[in-house]
Amino acid sequence: METNLTKRCVAELLGTAWLVLGGCGSAVLAANFPNAETNTLGIGLVGVSLAFGLTVLTMAYAIGHISGCHLNPAVSFGLWAGKRFPSGELLPYIAAQVVGAVVGAGILFVIASGSSEFELAGSNPFATNGFGEHSPGGYGLLACLVAEVVLTFVFLMVILGSTDTRAPAGMAPVAIGLCLTLIHLISIPVTNTSVNPARSTGVALFAGAELFNQVWLFWLAPIVGAVIAGWCYKALFEAAKA
């Protein structure tokens, strides 16, 4: 029996909040602990990458059977393009994901601001995404655009392939979580890794207008990459109907 839309949207809200709190929280609270100079206990780039992958892995098992565990407007668009998600549910899912991201970012802000050393300073405050001077490695707009489109394309191909009825049952969350980990290992230096418009929006709301003004790229690029992946998988790899 299919869960009603309201319950599925609540699941998406909670799941996206966990993704932002767990993933961005690891970057804000633990990446350079106790500080960037010594970093004796910090988890670094690899730890942050794993944290993002683990948030998706854990939530996929927790709510995948309820909402599909999209946690990401680009994923919803990609599944829609691949004819696996109805267009009438796109807006409610995306609204729930954005609200969840803001909730997760808000919880993180309350926790992080409890430290006297916390400040919204630097080129990438509060685990925000950016290009140009707000790219961790100083990468320009075109490089960041290409990275986000291509990596989101690959992410959706993995999602579509691992959730195909022909794929090994029960292994999709592992494949998806590891793929997101790998994506972060590649692109944290480039854009601080988005591939998720909701994640980018949630933290940018707390980081100020300058960072929020770059959020448009992290809506455009992931959605373009996801939609192309949905079309490609449907056209090239979808099982033929008997």
Phi/psi at 195 (nearest 5 deg)? 45, 20
Quote the CA–CA distance of 131 and 48 in Å, as a whole number: 19
Residue 117's pLDDT band (cuts 50, 70, 90): confident
Q: Are 53 and 41 in contact (CB under 8 A)?
A: no
Q: Which two tokens stand for residue 109?
A: 């802000």
**In the predicted model, what is the mean pLDDT of residues 48-59?**
98
Task: Give the sign of the dihedral formed by CA 106, CA 96, CA 57, CA 148.
Answer: negative
Q: What is the pLDDT of residues 58-91, one digit of tens each?
A: 999 999 999 999 999 999 999 999 999 999 999 9
Judging by beta carbons within 10 Å of its beta carbon (0-12, 13-18, 19+), is residue 231 exposed, middle or buried?
A: middle
For each of the domains in the chain, give its residue range(s) and CATH number, in order of start.
5-236 (1.20.1080.10)
Q: Are 126 and 207 in contact (CB under 8 A)?
A: yes
Q: Which residue has the higher pLDDT, 163 or 124?
A: 163
Q: Percentages helix, strand, coil for the chain, rounded to the nearest 5?
A: 70, 0, 30
Does the pLDDT at position 36 exceed 90? no
**In the predicted model, what is the mean pLDDT of residues 22-32?**
96
